Amino acid sequence: MSIRDQILSAKDSHSEMVTIPEWEVTVELRSMSGAARAVLMQEAMQSGGNINMAKVYPDLIIQTCFDPETGEPVFTEEDREAILSKNGAILDRLAEVATRLSGFNEAAVDDAGKDS
């Protein structure tokens, strides 16, 4: 097998079970593909280089949060406002795991939060 084939066939996605006691649920957070991550960041970028965290949080959670029993996504695009209405500390916990699994640079995420 060539190096190219080996790389392209590698199973390199990651997941982690996250228990949310306040909601009395456990969800599976999965890493994002490079393409999904690039789209998320592109769509969240505002003029002046700031990142719209109100856009990032729901997108990140919608794209990475799955039901561990069915493997189906927990949320859809229609849930965006409902997600933003949830406890910010819980959203922070989910976002921390999702960004870590998806390989976001920690410094870039911290800087983005300061700009919002």
Distance CA 19, CA 27 (A): 6
Count: domains in the chain: 1
Q: What pLDDT sits at residue 41?
A: 83
Q: What pLDDT sits at residue 113?
A: 47
Half-sphere exposure of 98 (CA within 13 A, CB side): 26
Q: How big is the chain, counted in residues?
A: 116
Q: Where residue 73 sits, what CATH number does that domain have? A: 3.30.2220
Q: Kindly state whether residue 9 falls inside one of the protein's structural domains.
A: no
CA-closest candidate to residue 109, choices 34, 36, 99: 99
Q: What pLDDT sits at residue 55?
A: 82
Both structure tokens of 50: 């700031």
pLDDT digits (tens, 9 = 90+) for 11-48: 988 999 999 999 999 999 999 988 888 888 888 887 77
Task: For residue 114, name the pLDDT band (cuts at 50, 70, 90).
Answer: very low
CA-closest candidate to residue 9, choices 1, 17, 18: 1
Q: Kindly state whether residue 71 falls inside one of the protein's structural domains.
A: yes
pLDDT digits (tens, 9 = 90+) for 36-86: 888 888 888 877 778 887 788 899 999 999 999 999 999 999 999 999 999
In the block, tokens 């997108």 appear at 59
- The residue-averaged pLDDT of 95-99 equals 93
Q: Kindly state whether residue 103 falls inside one of the protein's structural domains.
A: yes
Segments forming the whole domain that contains residue 64: 30-115
Both structure tokens of 35: 């393409």
Task: For residue 116, name the pLDDT band (cuts at 50, 70, 90).
Answer: very low
Task: For residue 112, name the pLDDT band (cuts at 50, 70, 90).
Answer: very low
Distance CA 115, CA 51 (A): 7
Q: In 4-96, where do the E strands start and end?
A: 15-20, 25-30, 65-66
